Structure 1
Amino acid sequence: MAAVTESAAARPALFTRALPVAAMLLVALNDHVLKGAGLLPGWLTGKLSDVAGLYFAPLLAAELWTLARPTSEARTVVQRVAWAALGFGLLFIAIKTSHRADALYEALWSALLPRPASNAVDPTDLVALGMLGVAVWDARRLMQREAKRAGAR
Structure 2
Amino acid sequence: MGRPRLFTRALPVACMVLVALNDHWLKGSGGVPGWLTGKLSDVAGLYFAPLLLAELWLLVWPASCASAAARRVAWMALAVGGGFTAIKTLPEADALYETWLFALLRRPVRNTVDPTDLVALVMLVLSVGTAQRLCRQRAGEGGV
Q: Normalising by structure 2, what TM-score?
A: 0.96
Consecutive unaligned residues of structure 2, counting only runs of 5 or more, are none
Q: Write out aligned runs for 1:33-52 (5 A).
A: 33-52=25-44
1:57 aligns with 49
Pick aligned residue for 2:21 from 29, 36, 51:
29
Question: Which moves more between the two structures, 105-114 or 84-93?
Answer: 105-114
State whether residues 86 and 94 of structure 2, in contact with CA within 8 Å, keep that contact through their aligned partners in structure 1: yes
Structure 1 residue 42 displacement after superposition: 1.3
The residue type paired with residue 43 of structure 2 is V
1:66 aligns with 58
Question: Which moves more between the two structures, 131-140 or 109-118?
Answer: 109-118
**Bigger Rg over Cα:** 1
C-alpha distance after superposition, 1:20-71 (max 9, x if no partner): 0000000000000011112222111010000000000000000011111112
The residue type paired with residue 36 of structure 1 is G
Q: How many residues align?
A: 143
C-alpha distance after superposition, 1:88-127 (max 9, x if no partner): 0000000000101100110111111121111000000000
2:78 aligns with 86
Structure 1 residue 141 displacement after superposition: 0.5
The runs of at least 4 aligned residues of structure 1 exceeding 6 Å deviation read: none
Is the counterpart of residue 12 in structure 1 residue 4 in structure 2?
yes
C-alpha distance after superposition, 1:111-146 (max 9, x if no partner): 111211110000000000000010000000011111
Question: What secondary structure, in the 3-state scheme, does the structure 2 residue paired with 1:16 have?
Answer: coil
Pick aligned residue for 1:104 from 83, 96, 106:
96
The 1-side partners of 2:75 and 2:44 are apart by: 18
Consecutive unaligned residues of structure 1, counting only runs of 5 or more, are 1-5
Is the counterpart of residue 142 in structure 1 residue 137 in structure 2?
no
Question: What secondary structure, in the 3-state scheme, does the structure 2 residue paired with 1:29 have?
Answer: helix
Is the counterpart of residue 75 in structure 1 residue 67 in structure 2?
yes
Question: Which moves more between the two structures, 50-59 or 37-46?
Answer: 37-46
Structure 1 residue 149 displacement after superposition: 2.1
Q: Normalising by structure 1, what TM-score?
A: 0.90
